[in-house]
Amino acid sequence: MRTTILSVLLLFISQDILALKTINKISKSDFNGAYSSVMLNGKLFYLDSQGYMWTSEGTSSSTHQLSNGNQAVKSYQNSLIKFNEKIIFINLSDEPKLWATDGTSFELLDDTPLNYFSGLRINNNTIIAQTVDENFIFYDGTTASHHDASALTSPLINSLCRLNETQFTVIARSENSNAYNLYYFNAENFTLIADDIITDDHSFSTDKQVLNFENNCYYQYTSMENIYSPMYLQVTNNGNTAQVISSDGTESWKQLFVFNDKLYFIRNSLVLLEGSEGFDTRQMYQLEANSNTPFISNAIDFTGPIRSVNTSDNNLYILTDIFFPVGIVPSPAPPPTFTIYDSSFEEVNIEGSFYTQPKVLSIGNNDTLLFNGQVDRLYFTDNSGALKMASASLQSIVGDETALYAIGRDKNKQSLYKISNQAIISEQTAGLWISPEWQSQGITLHTGERPDESNYLFLSLFIYKDGLPFWVAGSADYGLGSTEISLELLEFTGSSFLDDNANTAIENTSFGTITLSPSGCDEMQAFIDITGSDAITLSLGRIIDTKNRDVCIP
């Protein structure tokens, strides 16, 4: 069979396919992936709304529930952790215990029942779990060790900071008050090292209030006299404590963070009002190892008080406000300034206006940024553009070098989306498609979803036959994530124009088959195998439809 190749070059559809980025829904299962999802060896693992574990490689056909033998695997939110090329989790299929999986086989790591409500933590290269009797289990990738915490009252697992193999610190409730104290464990015993580090009226947040760096632990705390001026306590590996106070006397800190293997503190903006005593725009301080005295870092010249800082493996993300003279605050206040800095503290520019901190995922040398707002947007620090989701709410992003996913809600259901450089068959495929080789002819594509959540594509091919208009049609189901679809084309006869054909015998005969393969935002290959004739390959272009541009970057 001879194949005729009809190649086209349309200016409105020409693009560098390698730069393509598109977002498409690949699963509509109601799952809990916004809280529990992790990548391992190119596969996504997540928990559904009932806690059952699933895996996906980016298509509906590759998405399936995991089982250990004949038993479905069930876990608890926030208990999936990638660690040493395995996923560590609390298995709730029977008694809650510590397990590991590589996606194929499952392994029991420790036989002690766990308090699964506490979840799992990772600190200093160690997985930390809490037993039902409030003791701790440390798993280092090889063995699980037990640490008796019965001497403490209600220890907080999210406050535990492991200094080394034998020493750690943890916050627990005071025996004589509603406050919480800080304790130091040295191989055998707990020692009280700080009273009333938090009170019963203040919750404890791991991401803000404890950090492990260079075998020292840093805890945020406030005094009852001034709860709006947080301070930090440094604990060394021998249990010594010291308040973090800078060389210029600053002791109130808004935030601390690690960036480019260095520890930084952000000065509390409450003391930065223009005209106030000691006014100084320099707000970022660096702390050297084995010191508790930060010094001013001149790496960044800030334009206003820092509202918040976010970091990734590649970049530093800072929101700053405008300095106002003491007693003068305009209403409404102007929006904050959003700035990205790379590891050399050079600005990274991306197009757009940003007034909130994004959720950030580093993959290689580039970051993917999720900004939540009236319309959720995904940006990329390679400045390739933005993907916008007007019809869905995105909650998180997860990925690795092989794949990138977003998790959100669409039509009140938790949904999974794949961001890739491969165009796929999806609702974005719908539209009007033409080839300049076929004058006044083209293809109309429609996609739909049935109540059972299956998806279909309907195609009408409008062409000429023997000088007269002629059309054929076909439909087929497609799986989410599919890169091509094949349909049988049918020719219909037996009726006439505006005929009431309820009692007319409509006949259809096979015209051939068509296979569609999207290759870009507005490009698609069509292979038409005509019954009894030559096959044709067409390069199609979409008649311009700007709404598709939100979900596809050419």
* pLDDT tens readout for residues 126-135: 999 999 999 9
Cis, peptide link before residue 332, omega less than 30° from 0: yes
Q: Cβ distance 473 to 489 under 8 Å?
A: yes
Q: Residue 438 corresponds to which amino acid?
A: W
243, pLDDT greater than 60: yes
Residues 159/190, Cβ–Cβ less than 8 Å: no
Q: What pLDDT shows up at residue 409?
A: 82
* Lookup: tokens for 462: 């409008």
Model confidence over 62-83: pLDDT tens digits?
888 999 998 999 998 778 999 9
pLDDT at 204 over 60: no
How far is Cα 190 from Cα 172, in angstroms, rounded to an integer? 11
Sign, CA dihedral 363-367-373-375, equals negative
Integer Cα distance of 46 and 77 in angstroms: 9
Average pLDDT over residues 20-33: 72
More confident residue, 515 or 16: 515
The three-class DSSP label of residue 77 is coil
pLDDT computed for residue 329 by the predictor: 66
Q: How many CB atoms lie within 10 A of CB 422?
A: 16
Q: What pLDDT digit, counting tens, does each position of 154-200 carry?
A: 998 989 999 998 899 999 988 877 788 999 999 889 999 998 777 54
Q: Strands of 92-135 (E only): list them.
A: 97-101, 106-110, 121-122, 127-130
CATH fold of the domain at 426-553: Lipocalin (2.40.128)
pLDDT on residue 88: 96
Q: Summarize the confidence of residues 96-123 as an average pLDDT.
A: 94
Q: How far apart are CA 419 and CA 403, in angstroms?
A: 7
Please, are residues 194 and 171 in contact by the beta-carbon 8 Å criterion? no
More confident residue, 230 or 109: 109
Higher pLDDT, 202 or 147: 147
Average pLDDT, the chain: 85
Shortest CA distance to 29 belongs to which of 57, 62, 60, 58?
60
333 vs 17: which has the higher pLDDT: 333
CA 553 distance to own-chain centroid: 19
**Which pLDDT score, from 0 to 100, does residue 334 have?**
81
Q: Is the pLDDT of residue 202 over 70?
A: no
Looking only at the bridges linking them, the beta strands covering 535-542 and 3-6 are parallel
Average pLDDT (115-136) is 93
Residue 504's pLDDT is what? Answer: 67
| Contact present, 269 and 257 (Cβ < 8 Å) | no
Which one-letter amino acid corresponds to residue 91? N
| Low-confidence winner among 11-15, 66-70, 301-305, 547-551 (lowest mean pLDDT) | 11-15
Q: Give the pLDDT score at 5.
A: 26
pLDDT for 229 equals 77
235 pLDDT above the threshold of 80: yes
Q: How far is CA 23 from the centre of its chain?
A: 13
Question: Could you give the percent of the chain with pLDDT greater than 70?
Answer: 87
Q: How far apart are CA 184 and CA 538, in angstroms?
A: 71
Helix (H) or strand (E) holding 207: helix 206-209
Report the pLDDT value the prediction gives residue 247, as an integer from 0 to 100: 87
pLDDT at 11 over 50: no
User: At CA 218, angle to CA 216 and CA 223, rounded to 5?
Assistant: 145
- Average pLDDT in the 250-264 region? 91
For residue 149, is it left (φ>0), alpha (ψ between -120 and 50) or beta?
Answer: alpha
pLDDT (mean) for 82-94: 93
Confidence band for 18, pLDDT divided at 50, 70 and 90: very low
Contact 348, 364 (CB under 8 A): no
Query: Above 60 in pLDDT, residue 227?
Result: yes
Chain segment 385-440, per-residue pLDDT in tens: 889 887 788 888 999 998 999 988 877 777 888 898 889 999 889 999 999 888 88
With a cut of 60, say whether residue 9 has pLDDT above it: no
Average of per-residue pLDDT across 342-350: 93
Give the position of tokens 């990548």: 39
pLDDT tens for each residue of 357-396? 999 999 999 999 999 888 889 999 988 888 988 778 888 8
Neighbours of 57 (CB within 10 A): 17
Q: Quick one: which H or E segment has residue 471?
A: strand 468-478
Rounded to two decimals, what is the model's pTM? Answer: 0.84
The domain ranges of the chain are 153-243, 256-348, 426-553
